[in-house]
Amino acid sequence: MEFRIADTFTSSLAKLNGDEQKSAKQTAFDLQLNPVNSGMSFHKLDRAKDKNFWSVRVSSDIRLIVHKTKSSLMLCYVDHHDAAYEWAARRRLEQHPKTGAAQLVEIRETVREIEIPSYVEAKPEVPVEAVPAPLLFANRDDDDLLAFGVPAEWLGEVKEATEESLLELVDHLPGEAAEALLELATGGTPALPIQAGVEADPFAHPDAQRRFRIMTDVEELERALEFPWEQWAVFLHPAQRDLVDRHFKGPARVSGSAGTGKTVVALHRAVHLAKTHPGAKVLLTTFSIALARMLRSKLGLLVGDDADLLARIRVRAIDEAVIEMYETAHGKPRIPTASMLRALLQTASKSVEGHNFSLRFLEAEWSEVVDAWQIDSWEAYRGVQRLGRKTRLGEQQRSLLWAIFERVRKDLRAEGFATLPMVFDRVAGHLEDNGEPEDSPRFIVVDEAQDINVCQLRLLAAMAGARENGLFFAGDLGQRIFQTPFSWKSLGVSVQGRSSTLRINYRTSHQIRRMVDRLLPPELADVDSLIESRRGTVSVFNGPDPEIFVEKTNDDEVKAASSWLRDRLQQGILPQEIGVIVRSDAELPRALAVVEVPHPIER
């Protein structure tokens, strides 16, 4: 008997308290071990429209809702008695007549008329004739809408949808239908789901696999339920699954705005490569130690206690990984601190006459141009393109600057120091001269790739750039924080034809996303002219509209923000779920004033 779990089960499990979750999980484990156990308290839900829905007693008040046939049992939902029964009464498991995908469809007749919030507005001085809101999909025929996965019984409501009612309507539809309608409404052209038809296995469809998964053993089920809110560990969107499984003949990159699941794809990609290439080592890396620590914890959640996978997937910040490689070949490097470099630059600057470059400019030119690109000669510095540097330099100015930087390079060598870019350069040279060690990673997956720098990318290209599936990058140009732009292609990393964009946002509500999208252009281009389009991105959930307050004085701002925070706390939002953000460290006193006045709010 096949034992499945639905994403609706994991999301409902996350809403229970700790003791209730523990009891529900134990019942789920017992069901998987023996789905026909006569000791389990099954109750057929005769009032449900789907006659295969049963309830299973967890405790005096908690019930599991399962879908049970002769050949399969699926965990669908868990809640308190009345709420669980109500959920089952409003749903039916069916196969879509056009796409062939299995869907848990909300029964239209059990849903109250969709209510659109109304707001009290000032009455206009002159009466205005009411103009009906335009219908978004009235000109779409039934076959078009069915092709996008809209359930047949919801076709009428979809054709009556307006801009005001759409966001509420899509909450009642399967994911593929909701995403397509939202993209259509914003002027996009959504890709059609696979049209498998009713003859195909309904659970084999990519859109079914995003919400239903077969659990092969108790360990797999235990991982799925250990952190039920982390649904990414079990269910992948078809677009994510395609990128995870796809074979690339060269370096590949996935982009997407914040919240679209790029890190999820990177994690699953690393696991996929390790599973499909037994014995091969995979490096999962990013630009910071804190992010690498986060990736390591999520990898543990994804693979559980699979010792082989955990041993073959190394998770390191890229600087950590390369320093380890350097130590193997050359011993521990002596890396100068920022203050040491500043002192060397200041000394070298004073030794060269005829310039008025500030120390701040020298530091930036050194770190972003000379050291980043490992420029080691006047000829190289005279011809280098200084992308991202605002100050234009003539040849005479470059000559003076090179005299300063050449002195710094000489002083570093004399003291036995090597900057991080020098460490990367020497490791790359060692690989070229001696080949890769036996324990080198065969595949490299890079998260937050928009913030890797020149020397890091150059080494990654030397390590795995020539191999099929060798390099996989996940990042977003719109989230670049630290690095000035540079050409990937000039370093031997071309993702032309192997670049994809994720468009489904799991972390940001429709309302917030629509507002923040105004801050970035609809398209961003990198130095190699590859365009990342932000058009067509849709969110999977609703939320309140963002509120913007503009106050006349700082005191008024503090009072308004503090009052808003107290209102949220009174609504039951926990203090640890609230963040107060300002633009820079210099603005922190403003944030502190908000949480401390007039009544201290726990920080």
d(CA 335, CA 327): 12
Give the per-residue pLDDT at 434: 83
As a three-state string, the secondary structure of 42-80 is EEECCCCCCCCEEEEECCCCEEEEEEECCCEEEEEEEEE
**163: domain range?**
108-185
Among 99-103, 143-147, 494-498, the range scoring the smallest mean pLDDT is 494-498
Is omega for the bond preceding 151 within 30 degrees of 0, making it cis? no
Give the per-residue pLDDT at 530: 66
Same domain, 521 and 452: yes
* Domain CATH number, residue 95: 3.30.2310.20
d(CA 279, CA 276): 9
Same domain, 309 and 441: yes
d(CA 477, CA 534): 11
Same domain, 442 and 306: yes
pLDDT band at 125 (very low <50, low <70, confident <90, very high): low
Half-sphere exposure of 306 (CA within 13 A, CB side): 17
Among 59-63, 124-128, 130-134, 243-247, the range scoring the smallest mean pLDDT is 124-128
Same domain, 243 and 391: no
Among 97-101, 149-153, 531-535, 562-566, the range scoring the smallest mean pLDDT is 531-535
Residue 231 lies in a domain: no
Give the per-residue pLDDT at 122: 47
Residue 563 lies in a domain: yes
* Domain CATH number, residue 509: 3.40.50.300
At which of 373, 402, 417 does a domain end?
Answer: 417
Residue 546 lies in a domain: no
Among 8-17, 120-129, 571-580, 589-598, the range scoring the smallest mean pLDDT is 120-129
DSSP string, 110-161: GSPPPPPP----PPPSS-----PPPPSSTTS-HHHHHHTT--GGGHHHHHT-
Segment 60-78 mean pLDDT? 96
Same domain, 439 and 588: no
Say whether pLDDT at 338 is over 60: yes
Q: Which residue has the higher pLDDT, 511 or 23?
A: 23
Say whether pLDDT at 121 is over 60: no
Give the per-residue pLDDT at 137: 94
At which of 382, 417, 452 does a domain end?
Answer: 417
Say whether pLDDT at 598 is over 80: no
Output the six-digit token pair for 546.
Answer: 């963002």
Segment 428-436 mean pLDDT? 85
Same domain, 55 and 17: yes
Give the per-residue pLDDT at 79: 98
Give the per-residue pLDDT at 149: 96
Output the six-digit token pair for 139.
Answer: 């000109």
Residue 469 per-residue DSSP state: T
pTM comes to: 0.83
Same domain, 442 and 326: yes
Same domain, 440 and 525: yes
At which of 365, 394, 417 does a domain end?
Answer: 417
Tell me if residue 95 falls in helix, strand or coil.
strand
Say whether pLDDT at 482 is over 60: no
Give the per-residue pLDDT at 95: 96
Number of domains observed in the structure of the chain: 5
d(CA 139, CA 133): 15
Same domain, 248 and 310: yes
d(CA 144, CA 192): 10
Segment 16-37 mean pLDDT? 91
d(CA 82, CA 69): 23
Say whether pLDDT at 527 is over 90: no
d(CA 380, CA 398): 11
d(CA 589, CA 115): 43
d(CA 519, CA 422): 37
CA distances 421 to 88, 186, 344, 385, 417, Å, are 60, 45, 17, 18, 12
Say whether pLDDT at 352 is over 70: yes
Percentage, residues of the chain above pLDDT 70:
90
Say whether pLDDT at 571 is over 50: yes
Same domain, 373 and 263: no
Same domain, 37 and 79: yes
Strand locations in 466-540 (E): 471-474, 499-501, 504-505, 523-525, 531-533, 538-539
Say whether pLDDT at 432 is over 60: yes
Give the per-residue pLDDT at 524: 64
Q: What is the mean pLDDT of the chain?
A: 88
Residue 78 lies in a domain: yes
Residue 547 lies in a domain: no
Same domain, 321 and 445: yes
Say whether pLDDT at 403 is over 90: yes
